[in-house]
Amino acid sequence: MWNKLILLSVLALTFSYLALAYEPSPLQDFCVADPRTSVKVNGVTCKNPMQVKADDFFFSGLHLRGNTSNQLGSKVTPVFATQLPGLNTLGISMVRIDYAPWGLNPPHTHPRATEILTVLEGTLQVGFVTSNPDNRFITKVLQKGDVFVFPKGLVHFQRNVGNGYAVVIAALSSQNPGAITIANAVFGANPAIPGDILAKAFQVDKSVVDQLQAKFKS
């Protein structure tokens, strides 16, 4: 019995040490991404700090309107660590989103980030859906200067409900938030999700699924 108590005590001390050894925050002032390496360390390998320059922390271009001449009528311009190497390991990023009249940023999720946006121009309907089992649809119409937050991982969207162009700036709590557009992921997966699975999931005839898969494949 005494030996078991000693063993448990040693294990507890070991796990306590491991817990204290874990450091979730950066252990240096910065870790500018080095695009020349393919090594990944939950981010990108750091550039030699003595070779870092001001341009590593700089990005220009968010004043430019994105090209919304597409089927959805929207354009996302990202500022992630790929575009701004100084963001590497800092856990933040941002985007500019442009919307043509009635343009849509379709339902999607960010698996690694919460998103907060502010409207610079226009009128937007925004919304997200809560997780199972409630699946509540929470939506609001935003005007210039309004702010809205989309919780991490929840399906959300924005739609321009005005007759003019709309613009937002959004911040995300990851240098690489990821984006899963629901329609593309479900109907445009490569290789395709078997049609009978989607037909049963959506409670529709398989011919409907076939048409949608053909559309998103093209």
| Residues facing residue 181 across a β-bridge | 108
Percent of the chain with pLDDT over 90: 73
Confidence of residue 186 (pLDDT cuts 50, 70, 90): very high
Q: Round to whole Å and give the CA distance between 82 and 72.
A: 25
What does the pLDDT look like over 16-42, one tens digit per residue? Answer: 444 444 445 665 777 888 877 776 666
Tell me the average pLDDT across 41-56. Answer: 86
C-beta separation of 122 from 164 below 8 A:
yes
Q: Round to whole Å and give the CA distance between 193 and 181.
A: 15
Q: List the structure tokens of 54.
A: 């001001």
C-beta separation of 210 from 187 below 8 A:
no
Tell me the average pLDDT across 55-78. Answer: 96
What average pLDDT does the chain have? 88
- Say what the pLDDT of residue 199 is: 96
Q: Round to whole Å and give the CA distance between 190 and 197.
A: 15
Phi, psi angle pair for 56, to nearest 5°: -70, -20
pLDDT at residue 6 greater than cutoff 60? no
Q: List the structure tokens of 21.
A: 């050894």
- Say what the pLDDT of residue 122 is: 97
* Strands 104-109, 93-99: pairing kind: unpaired
- Say what the pLDDT of residue 56 is: 95
